[in-house]
Amino acid sequence: MGRHEWYTGTRRWRLTALLGVGVAALALVVSLINTLPGGGAGTAGTSRDGDKVHGTPLTPPRRPKPYVGWGFTHTQYSADEGGDTAVERVEQLLAKDGGLPQDQAIMGWGADNPEPVKGRYDFGAMDRRIDFIRRSGGTPVITLCCSPDWMKGGRAGVGNTDWSRTALETAPTPKHYQDFADLAATVARRYPDVRHFLVWNEFKGFWNNARGRWDYEGYTRMYNLVYRALKQVDKDIMVGGPYLVMDSLDPRDQNASDVLKGPWGAMDRRVLDAFAYWNGHRTGADFVVVDGSSYTNDDELLPDEFAATDKLTAVGEWVRQQTHDLPLWWAEYYVEPADGNDDRKGWSEAHRLAVHASGLIAMVKGGADSGFYWNPEEEKGTDCPGCLWTPTDSAGGGKELPMYDLVSWFGRAFPPGTRYETVSVARDDVPNVRVLADRRTVLVVNTLDRTISAQVDGKRFDMQAYEVKWLDR
């Protein structure tokens, strides 16, 4: 959502200052050896065989489905690095829950520049993430973002990557759309067990300042090239877009939509225009991808933090209607506004879990069957609000946290294809609880910061403040 950590945190090769004539000469030789003819760009540590299959791929289904269920996204810091004991602890935690779907970007958010020079690849960090997903038994998903510097007006060469946020979030120039599609195909060949790809991330770099709107023509052109390239690798690969941020505004805003609005605010009409263009001009799509928050662009939770999640339902219903019921994914979803440092530490863990559970319920009611929790793992320490597990920097890290219990339990209880059922809720309890159920399980959320007695599905029970309760039927 434009507020993410992205820097890989990985040490990059630097040519340090050299002293003495002999050392300087040696450096010149090394520089010449590691230079592409005519390109003038360093290629140390890269390889030409980027599409060579890496490691031991998992055996995916012969015909993948256009959904994966409920999982999480790896960000800057994740459990693929750290103390061996802590990393193994997370792997085992994930494995016992079936691995969970796990998403990883190809550049940034833990991954290095995959193609510093055209035709020369560095997938070291990406390989490590994919290996972790494989060892933990997860379903791997790849987000095709972001792009190497030479595709967007920057300098090619190892060590020349500009990791500033502005540079990373710059889209490829139109003349390099095909180069980006070729990179996507290389990634698909390298990891043949990855069967689901998201094209780009939040329209980063596709804002048209001159027109005051999204450059949806440019994004859609690039999307179609990527779609074709991936299908040429394997026609059964699942591809989705447009990964737009479904921003909502104060209904009085000049850009507020009259088409999609509610007590939670009004959608930004410029986002709906972008979605409509992509939807009308896409070559194809196996599923549709969006992201967004329950709060407005001004961080307003309207009319409150629980009722605001109804936006996720409304958006889902609208998207499914526009796409004639393509499977719906939420690549990211947020229910707790961040502070100026992009931290979400203002709520108690019980409060956070209750609102998050309400958000999951809202997405399902809007027709979604896949979603990814943006996992905010800290690099080190023990304080990690909203994290799935404790930081893995020490042997004692990698321990399950309450948010992991919620996300994993939800994924087990309500996988894709679940047939949901209506359950009875006592009239006086309707305003106080959020409920989701199938024939085996009922999820109940207390939306109040106090103890209540609720009657759901014919059973009466007490619930603590902001309690999330699972009932067997």
Q: With bands split at pLDDT 50, 70 and 90, how would you rate the model's confidence at 60? A: confident
pLDDT at 233 over 70: yes
Spatial separation of the C-alpha atoms in residues 267 and 265, rounded to whole Å: 7
Asked if 423 and 454 touch (Cβ cutoff 8 Å), the reply is no
Residue 224: what pLDDT? 98
Residue 28: what pLDDT? 37
Task: Give the angle subtended at the CA of 438 by the CAs of 435 and 441, to the nearest 5°.
Answer: 75
Residue 336: what pLDDT? 96
Residue 334: what pLDDT? 96
Compute CA distances 35 → 39, 160, 203, whole Å.
7, 13, 33
- pTM recorded for the entire structure: 0.91
Dihedral angle sign, alpha carbons of residues 290, 330, 1, 145: negative
Return the closest-CA partner of residue 461 out of 432, 421, 438, 439: 432
Residue 59: what pLDDT? 82
pLDDT at 24 over 70: no
Spatial separation of the C-alpha atoms in residues 266 and 249, rounded to whole Å: 5
Mean pLDDT of 116-142: 97
Scan for tokens 């997370």, then name that residue.
Answer: 90
Asked if 191 and 54 touch (Cβ cutoff 8 Å), the reply is yes
DSSP symbols for 361-425:
HHHHHTTEEEEEEE----SSSS--TT-SB--SSSTT---B-HHHHHHHHHHHHS-TT-------B
Q: With bands split at pLDDT 50, 70 and 90, how would you rate the model's confidence at 98? A: confident
Asked if 66 and 287 touch (Cβ cutoff 8 Å), the reply is yes
pLDDT at 27 over 80: no
Spatial separation of the C-alpha atoms in residues 354 and 372, rounded to whole Å: 17
pLDDT tens by residue, 442-468: 999 999 999 999 999 999 999 999 999
Spatial separation of the C-alpha atoms in residues 189 and 199, rounded to whole Å: 16
What residues form DSSP beta bridges with 468? 445
Sorted by sequence, the CB contacts under 8 Å of residue 174 that are 6+ apart come out as 218, 221
Q: Is 65 helix (H, G, I), strand (E, B) or coil?
A: coil
Spatial separation of the C-alpha atoms in residues 291 and 273, rounded to whole Å: 16
Spatial separation of the C-alpha atoms in residues 414 and 370, rounded to whole Å: 10
pLDDT tens by residue, 163-215: 999 999 999 999 999 999 999 999 999 999 999 999 999 999 999 999 999 99
Spatial separation of the C-alpha atoms in residues 104 and 86, rounded to whole Å: 20
Q: Is 35 helix (H, G, I), strand (E, B) or coil?
A: strand
pLDDT at 247 over 90: yes
Query: 56-82: buried (b, 16+ CB within 10 Å) or exposed (e) per residue?
Result: eebeeeeebbbbbbbbbbbbbbbbbbb
Residue 20: what pLDDT? 38
Mean pLDDT of 303-312: 98
Q: What is the number of other CB atoms lying within 10 angstroms of the CB of residue 27?
A: 14
pLDDT tens by residue, 67-93: 999 999 999 999 999 999 999 999 999
DSSP symbols for 80-94:
TSS-HHHHHHHHHHH
pLDDT at 376 over 90: no
Tokens of 234: 């394997």
pLDDT tens by residue, 400-409: 999 999 999 9
